[in-house]
Structures are given as C-alpha cells and as structure tokens.
C-alpha cells in the first residue's frame, strides 16, 4: 500500500521536475514509444524565444508570467478596475479571488469561441478572452453574495453557480460554443464546496481571497513552493476524475511506463499557473515571495507545441500528429514531461546568451517573454488555425 507521505510528496514542484526528468532520460535513451529528442533543434526554440522576447519587451524588463498579463490585452489595464478604493488587504483578497476564478476557468476555450467586450468593443478569443470574460463577470457581481460588493468570490455563491449563468456571462451559445461549459461550472461549484469546508484556509464567510490572511499570518517571506503546496493540498478535491493515492487527490497527474513503481507523473499545470498568478497580489499586499524558480514551466499546448513545431521533440509515428489523443494517454504524458525539462534547458541557454542570472531572469520571465508567445506564433506559421500540433481531447478542466 502506498503511504500518505508518498502521495503528499507528489503535491510539489520538486516532484514535477523529478518525475518528468525520469521520462526525459528514458526518451534520451530511446526507451519510449512515442517521441524522440533532437537536441540540435533546441537552439531554434531558444532563438525564437529570445527574438519574440526582445520584440515584446525591448528593454528585457519582462514581468512574471501570470494571468495578469491576459487582463491587459489590447493595452487596457483592467486590473486597475478591481476593488477601487479598497484597503491594501481588501484589494489583495479581491485580486486573489479574481485570479483563482479566472485560472480555474482557463482551460482551452475551443477554436471558435469569442468574447465581445462591450466596454471596449474588443473581440477576444482563447486565454485572453477567458480572462476578460471572467473579470467582467466578477465586475457584474456574478460570484458575490453581496450585491453592493461585486469584487469578491464567495464560496456560497460558487457552490451554487449554474452552467446557464456561466454560459450567459461567457456568451456561450449556438455558433459561439465555449468548450466544456458544464464542466467549468461544476469545477466552480466544487471550488466553492472546498473553500467552505476549510475555514482555517478560507475564513468565514469563505472565499479564495482569504488565503491572503492565511499566508500573511504565517511569515514575512513566503517561498513560492509553499504557495503551490497550499494550493495543491487545498484544491486537490476540486479536480474531477483524477488520480488519487492513499485517498489523497493528486490533481494534474498522469502515468508513464518509464516511471518505476506507480508510474505517476505530476504536472500541476493549472495549479502552478494559479501560484504564478497570486504572486503579484501577494506582493502588492506586502508579502515577500522568494524562490520563484522552484516552480516549473507549464506543461501545456503552447509551450509543448513550441518544441514540436521547432523539431526539438519529434514523434516516432507521424500519425500521432493527426489523430485525437486523450489528455491522460501516454503520448500526451510523455510530451508534457519533455516540455517541463526542455523549458528548464531553454531558460538556462537563454540566460547564457542574454548574460542574465537566474535572479535577474527567472523562469517566470522566460515563460512570459517568451515561450508561450513563441509557441502561439509558430503554431500560426504551421497551421492557419493556430492550433497545437497535437490534438488533445479536453473536458475544459485540464489545459
């Protein structure tokens, strides 16, 4: 029987790097069935990322990769709309509420979905559209139990939210379908239930933003890995149909035959995306966040697509690129594991070329500069739709 300590060990960024490294080494040795590595092509990815980083941030003053970048699409600082006139603490709570809701809703939108922002006239798609839609939904009070205070996400409201209400806020309908609308609403309901069940973390009345009080009461310096561990342990039960070990939900994990024992490979993509996204609200609230590079790169279709489209990752069977793949199938787990390790290697090589230290240019800046934008750009070069090179069957709660 697996031990509880074995399960909790998988709820960490260190476990992501360790288990992905095992898969990577097996691929390097030619022992896996799905992909091969072409190390000479990694430099193309590095050059692409440096080029797009310099175009987007000519002074190399790159902000952290987080949900907050999407809120400013079109050059509009929508984060400034959140909780106007609030105290520092209340603003931090509202920002964490928004980041949490928005990240939980940030799985792939589908190719055809668009959000028309009435306030600006912008027509937005994909992650940016989901971000702005979630912000405008919160501004309208969709997640608040207090009609006079819209900028909050109360657990009691989240636990009762309907797919119809979410569909209306996100303009989902015939001809503008948002992928997995029912699953997204169910995810928010489970989020509300989990927050209500953990008053030590989420307070009373419960809301995700009360994590600000939990973290600020613990220490003046908060390691990023501790942020992630708290999020993983608290929100593990939210994710549907995932692996468990010793009764502990493991969240975003898969299995690969190259990993000895239980074969489990954790990625924690959305949880790490949330960890990156609460850093700025916590810093604005007066906390010092340390060791940000202990978090890993995000194993998702833009970062992973960059390496396939550049040729650094090559399918052993070319038909792999033309057939739908289950998100938990071994080819997808292998691809995601390779992505995590290659992001670290790309970051190291990029710093060498730019003459930057880890402290000056952490992985969060490489991702933002960066790899995600380069993955989107090269996808558009290879495929008119801009779709990822692999077709992943998603329920709207993973990628």
pLDDT in tens, 259-311: 999 999 999 998 999 999 999 999 999 999 999 999 999 999 999 999 999 99
Q: Is the pLDDT of residue 1 over 60?
A: no
The span from the CA of 362 to the CA of 288, in Å, is: 16
Any domain includes 384 = yes
Any domain includes 399 = no
Q: Could you tell me how many residues make up the chain?
A: 399
| 3-class SS string, 191-231 | HHHHHHHCHHHHCCCCCHHHHHHHHHHHCCEEEHHHHHHHH
Any domain includes 398 = no
| Residue 2 banded pLDDT, cuts 50, 70, 90 | low
Q: What is the residue range of 90's domain? A: 4-393
Q: Is the pLDDT of residue 3 over 50?
A: yes
Q: Is 302 left (phi over 0), alpha (psi -120 to 50) or beta?
A: alpha
Q: Is the pLDDT of residue 242 over 80?
A: no
Cβ burial, residue 159 (10 Å; 0-12/13-18/19+): middle
State how many domains the chain has: 1
Any domain includes 45 = yes
**158 within 8 A of 143, measured Cβ to Cβ:** yes
Any domain includes 270 = yes
**71 within 8 A of 131, measured Cβ to Cβ:** yes
Any domain includes 211 = yes
Q: What is the pLDDT of residue 399?
A: 52
Residue 370, preceding peptide bond in cis (omega within 30° of 0): yes
The pLDDT of 32-44, averaged and rounded, is 96
**265 within 8 A of 19, measured Cβ to Cβ:** yes
Mean pLDDT of the chain: 93
Query: Where does 219-371 have alpha helices with state H?
Result: 224-235, 269-284, 301-310, 330-354, 363-366
Q: What is the pLDDT of residue 245?
A: 83
| Residue 41 banded pLDDT, cuts 50, 70, 90 | very high
The predicted model scores a pTM of 0.93
Q: What is the pLDDT of residue 248?
A: 86
Any domain includes 215 = yes
pLDDT in tens, 326-346: 999 999 999 999 999 999 999
Any domain includes 208 = yes
């Amino acid at each position: 029987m697996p031990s509880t300590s074995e399960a909790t060990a998988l709820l960490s960024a260190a476990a992501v790097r360790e288990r992905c490294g095992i898969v990577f080494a097996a691929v390097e040795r030619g022992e896996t069935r799905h992909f091969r590595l072409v190390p000479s092509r990694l430099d193309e990815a590095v050059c692409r990322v440096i080029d797009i980083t310099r175009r987007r941030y000519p002074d190399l003053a790159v902000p952290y990769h987080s949900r907050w970048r999407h809120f400013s699409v079109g050059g509009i600082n929508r984060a400034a709309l959140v909780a106007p006139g609030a105290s520092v603490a209340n603003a931090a709570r509202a920002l964490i509420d928004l980041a949490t809701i928005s990240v939980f809703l940030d799985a792939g939108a589908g190719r055809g979905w668009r959000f028309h922002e009435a306030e600006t006239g912008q027509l937005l798609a994909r992650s940016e559209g989901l971000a702005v839609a979630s912000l405008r939904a919160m501004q309208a009070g969709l997640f608040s139990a207090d009609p006079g205070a819209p900028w909050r996400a109360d657990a009691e409201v989240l636990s009762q939210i309907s797919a119809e209400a979410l569909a209306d806020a996100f303009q989902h309908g015939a001809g503008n379908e948002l992928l997995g609308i029912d699953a997204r609403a169910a995810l928010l309901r489970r989020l509300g239930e989990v927050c209500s069940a953990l008053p030590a973390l989420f307070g009373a009345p419960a809301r995700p933003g009360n994590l600000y009080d939990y973290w600020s009461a613990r220490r003046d310096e908060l390691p990023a890995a501790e942020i992630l561990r708290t999020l993983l342990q608290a929100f593990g039960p939210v994710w549907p149909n995932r692996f468990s070990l010793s009764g502990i939900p493991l969240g975003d994990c898969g299995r690969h035959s190259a990993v000895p024992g239980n074969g489990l490979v954790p990625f924690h993509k959305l949880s790490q995306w949330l960890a990156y996204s609460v850093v700025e609200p916590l810093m604005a609230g007066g906390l010092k966040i340390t060791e940000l590079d202990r978090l890993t790169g995000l194993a998702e279709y833009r970062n992973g697509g960059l390496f396939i489209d550049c040729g650094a990752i090559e399918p052993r069977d070319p038909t792999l690129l033309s057939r739908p793949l289950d998100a938990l199938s071994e080819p997808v787990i292998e691809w995601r594991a390779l992505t995590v390790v290659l992001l670290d290697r790309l970051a190291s090589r990029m710093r060498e070329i730019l003459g930057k230290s880890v402290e000056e240019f952490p992985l969060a800046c490489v991702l933002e500069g960066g790899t995600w934008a380069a993955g989107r750009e090269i996808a558009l070069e290879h495929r008119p739709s801009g779709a990822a090179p692999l077709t992943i069957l998603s329920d709207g709660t993973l990628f």
